[in-house]
Amino acid sequence: MLIAHVTDSFHPRLGGIERQVADLAARQAAAGHTVHVITRQCGASGVDAGFPFTVHRVPAGWRAHGRLRAVLAPLRPDVVHAHASVVSPLGWAGVDVAVELGVRAVVSVHSLWVGPGVLAARLAGLKSWARNRVTVAAVSSLAADRVRRTCPELPVHVTPNGVDVGWWRVPRPLDRPAGVHVVAVGRLVARREPMTFLKAVREVAGAADVRVTVAGDGPERARAEAYVRRCGLASRVSFAGALRRNDIRDLLGSADLFVNPARREAFGIATVEALSAGVPVLAMAESGVNDFVRHGKNGFLCEPGVALADGLWTMVTDHDLRRSTAGFARDHPLDAFDWSRVLARWDSLYAPGTLRSPSADPLSHCPGRT
């Protein structure tokens, strides 16, 4: 079929949505579909070379609707797949144009709709989505629940992000340095709470043999590095910057613990990658990782009222718990998130006969889930 993805965020910006859209489009193209990605204009030139699909760039703002229509009408796609974050004007417009053209419209919700996001969702006309039989799928159970609260009459499926689960499995080096190597991977932006993580490290580092690697870049990096210097943690904490996937996999191969401090995490691709590499995870229970991080089995979930520092202290000092959770992660791969299953899930949601009521939960067979 001919699939048109519409996304506000895309290459060269590097983040979870951007990489997920690119990976999904590339794998769909490899499966034999004709794939187009329509996104916003950017200042860089030549950034779209090398993709196995066609990229169209249109201006954002009030002109987006007309430009989208000018791209989509002659393409005559079988499905328009819009990708929505908290505020995604191009994604919303993509749904509207698909409905106008009589093309099947599918929406991926990649973020948690709270606060201003709920207002943005209401303004997007979710009730019209329900009337026009737009298929909506969120990346986690929590994200789906937030959409249902906003528009109870709109059926919402759960379709997780895809990960090459087997590729992330790496042998653990036999000659490992002393101490506990803690790793965090993600864009250094305020909503991902890098400062919360570093403050937890500060509380633990004085009494535990721990070293920390922070992989990622973003506007919070300068503040984070200044904090580490000011607190005398420079010998314990290193900043690796933005890494390629091969380098992240190598980094996870040396890690004893992966930390995701974000409370507003809708899914957590890097967290799935860490578990696939056999690294136990410390994360927040009220986030989207609750779909696959099982407390005491493959990691530690900080319930509301439990500080991240307390969880970090437990995972760093309790060697038996860390070993057992690492073993569980290695022995129970997260196959529900493997690309083969995610692609099949999207194929079923693209089909014109998709049920109005949400289909079976694809995460029901995650390790340890009850």
Sign of CA dihedral 329, 333, 336, 337: positive
Token duo for residue 359: 């289909």
Q: Work out the mean pLDDT of the chain and round it to a whole number.
A: 90
Answer yes or no: are the C-beta atoms of 97 and 69 closer than 8 Å: yes
39-62 as b/e, with b when 16 or more CB fall inside 10 Å?
bbeeeeeeebeeeebebbebeeee
Query: Which of these ranges, 36-40, 73-77, 110-114, 327-331, has the smallest mean pLDDT?
Result: 110-114
Please state the rounded mean pLDDT for residues 315-339: 96
**How far is it, in rounded angstroms, from Cα 294 to Cα 280?**
10
Give the per-residue pLDDT at 310.
97
- Output 348 or 356, whichever has higher pLDDT: 348
115: left (phi over 0), alpha (psi -120 to 50) or beta: left
Most confident of 3-17, 37-51, 319-333: 319-333
pTM: 0.92
Answer yes or no: are the C-beta atoms of 153 and 130 closer than 8 Å: yes
Of 277, 306, 283, 304, which Cα lies nearest the Cα of 295? Answer: 283
User: Could you tell me which residues come within 8 angstroms of residue 53 by beta carbon, excluding any fewer than 6 positions away?
Assistant: 25, 26, 28, 29, 35, 36, 37
Of 258, 262, 263, 264, which Cα lies nearest the Cα of 322? Answer: 258
pLDDT digits (tens, 9 = 90+) for 87-140: 888 998 999 999 999 999 999 999 998 766 566 566 657 888 888 899 999 999
Give the per-residue pLDDT at 117.
58
Q: Does domain 166-331 have CATH number 3.40.50.2000?
A: yes
Four-CA torsion 222, 213, 297, 370, nearest 10 degrees = 40
Domain ranges for the chain: 2-163+337-350, 166-331
**How far is it, in rounded angstroms, from Cα 244 to Cα 137?**
29
Give the per-residue pLDDT at 370.
46
CATH no. of 2-163+337-350 = 3.40.50.2000
Please state the rounded mean pLDDT for residues 30-39: 97
Residue 48: alpha-carbon gap to chain centroid: 22
Give the per-residue pLDDT at 89.
87
pLDDT digits (tens, 9 = 90+) for 197-231: 999 999 999 888 999 999 999 999 999 999 999 99
With residues binned 3-state (H G I as helix, E B as strand, rest as coil), the percentages for the chain, rounded to 5, are: 40, 20, 40
Token duo for residue 334: 């997260």
Same fold, 2-163+337-350 and 166-331: yes
pLDDT digits (tens, 9 = 90+) for 143-187: 999 888 888 888 999 999 999 999 999 887 766 777 899 999 999
Four-CA torsion 225, 228, 230, 234, nearest 10 degrees = -110
